[in-house]
Amino acid sequence: MLAPHHDGSPLHVSTQTPALGETVRVRLRVPAGEAGPAGLGLAALDGVSVRSNPNHEPRFAPAVLLGEHGGWAWWQAEVEVENPVHGYRFLLTGPAADAAGTGDAAGAGLPAQRWLNATGLHDTEPLDAEDFKLVASPADIGAPPEWLASSVLYQVFPDRFARSAAADGRELPEWAIAAAWGDPVDPEPPARSTQFYGGDLDGVTERLGHLADLGVTLLYLTPVFAGRSNHRYDATNFDAVDPLLGGDEALVRLVEAAHARGIRVIGDLTSNHSGDAHEWFLAAHHHPEAPESDFYYWKDAANDGYESWLGVPSLPKFNWASKELRRRFIEGPDSVVARWLKPPFHLDGWRIDVANMTGRLGAEDLNAEVRQTIRRTMVEVNPDTILLGESTNDAASDFQGDAWHGAMTYTTFTRPLWSWLMRPGSEAAGGIGFAGNRVPSYTGRQFHAVHTRFVAGFPWRTRLGTLNALNTHDTPRFATSALPGAVPVALGLSVTLPGIPVVFAGDEFGLTGVDGEASRTPIPWPLLEQDRAADAAALAQDTTRLYTELIALRRGQPALNGGGMRWLHIGDDVLVFVRESEENSVLVTAGRGDFSVTIPVAALGGGAGDAMGLQPLFGAEVAGAPGVQLAESDGEIRLSAHGPSFAAWAFSGVKTP
């Protein structure tokens, strides 16, 4: 609770967008009193310095004590950003070794050392990979747009979201297995990829009012280019919107209507592969003389066998050594990447499918070249756009600020969340990446350990753009196997932890699904619009109200939109943390079961006693209503609840010397 703290937020770092050679001020805060539980209050410190690692050669800079405020002492040092990714950590020199209780007579009188990096406080030297990071993006890559950190993302799988009246007049292709909107999803091949409900982009446009009512600010569409499947990740071209979705004009109508409501729209590109019916692949298959021949990896001189995504023959893998492929697809104003960001389409960015595998095959690794080229093209067309990359496992090595603004990954949030809040023994087939498709059972301490381990690898600003998804179109839905009462806890963490909250269409109605395909349920709009007397409709309305309130919580509190992050308590069944900014602070409690936790008021960093002014935002016990109870006395607050619970309180912002 009372431990030295630093993060990448504006409270602790003077700029989020430094240039190479710029000097950045970094700040460390420590408890101002005697040594606290961490053993390093101000009274126990001999000094503080910052250790950087420019050009892989350590360098130290002294920190100066700025003063005290609100029970915390603040130290500041200057760091020159010498590399595009500049790592740094804090060295805290504490009491003499014998006073620290080492029992080592040989070390008596020597100052003890503690290191603070992105994974926490250490009494031994940590890894460079776990350092805090300053990112100096080249001008042709650019910094993330300002709106990224305050986004709330809603994901739509077009075939299953909404169907306009125009869909009735469209002729189905030969691959499609027609389904009525109320038919159950068939998860077995061939229907698994070819069952076709006929959702279209005008249907999405007609339901934008629902997204606006939820508070969504960013709409993510899975692929809109024609394919030979309902998911369209097997594109047959990148030059036109699938006529089954309404064609180019329907996308223009959707983006214009979304922008009018203050909702941005991003598309989905498959940079790792095309479909085997793509015009480029058809031109090259069995035709080694074709200009498109070097777009793919061939296993023989006749261009017969080829590499594909995970061995799936319908998804041939791109060879990014091809300059012509780069020119057509990702490089310059005439490329596919550029075309859809320009008028009349005006997309606000891209999510890149299978970003982790793009450009990688055996000894060849062109991933960095591809992602940087994509971003350079985007900056040329419209720098106020975002680039998100799918990397479902440990993604940090690719997400160091040289292209991607955030990751669609499951390691930082989704998997640890499921492991804490799922019923023990739950299965999770496909997509989410659990070993053996089984969800392990974590304590809250393990959730914290895993979450901290994986987010530590990201620069702060990339962490703010990384998705906090309960689930996506590729996974089972969280609600399917969640502990009773756990959905508000999970969603509460999604909107309050650093990162972008994600709603996969239907989550807000309480829909379930045992795997990625079963989760792609057509939204049952007719049922949802029935009278409240219908149980399913009533449940959906209650869940929608929950989503609306928690999204409003996220959007309404400055501290939750780019503010800092400090853990206050980590227990098996309860997690407590505070998000902080100059404008305000938010205290958050997430409980899996019964709990009672006592926290010093000083740990909140906002003064003492009634001056704290904690104002309930969500889930607090008020006038006898169930929720988390907060009691204050003798310089402490006690938080307690029965059963799963999520609560948040606002209080004053952080004042610094």
Active-site residue set? 353, 390
Provide CB contacts within 8 A for 362, sequence distance 6+: none
- H helices of 246-400, in order, are 247-260, 279-284, 323-329, 336-339, 367-381
Strands (DSSP E) contained in 356-499 are 360-361, 364-365, 386-390, 406-408, 467-469
What are φ and ψ of residue 114, in 5° steps? Answer: -130, 140
Q: How many CB atoms lie under 10 A from the CB of residue 537?
A: 18
Contact (CB, 8 A) for 189 and 236: no
- H helices of 207-305, in order, are 208-214, 247-260, 279-284
- Report the C-alpha gap between 42 and 203 in whole angstroms: 60
Q: How many CB atoms lie under 10 A from the CB of residue 73?
A: 22
Q: How far is CA 511 from CA 200, 335, 537, in A?
A: 20, 38, 11
Contact (CB, 8 A) for 65 and 43: no
Q: Which residue has the tokens 């003077």?
A: 14
- Report the C-alpha gap between 134 and 422 in whole angstroms: 36
As beta bridge partners, residue 24 has 79
Tally DSSP H helices, then E strands, for the chain: 16, 29
Please tell me whether residue 560 adopts helix, strand or coil conformation.
helix
As beta bridge partners, residue 33 has none
In whole angstroms, how large is the CA radius of gyration of the chain? 26
Contact (CB, 8 A) for 37 and 27: no
Strands (DSSP E) contained in 288-348 are none
Contact (CB, 8 A) for 169 and 494: no
The enclosing H or E element of 554 equals: helix 535-556
Contact (CB, 8 A) for 114 and 92: yes
Please tell me whether residue 405 adopts helix, strand or coil conformation.
coil
Contact (CB, 8 A) for 275 and 227: yes
β-pair type (584-591, 574-580): antiparallel
Half-sphere exposure of 555 (CA within 13 A, CB side): 17
Q: How far is CA 188 from CA 94, 195, 263, in A?
A: 63, 10, 36
The backbone region for 46, taken as left when phi is positive above 0, alpha when psi lies in -120 to 50, beta otherwise, is: alpha
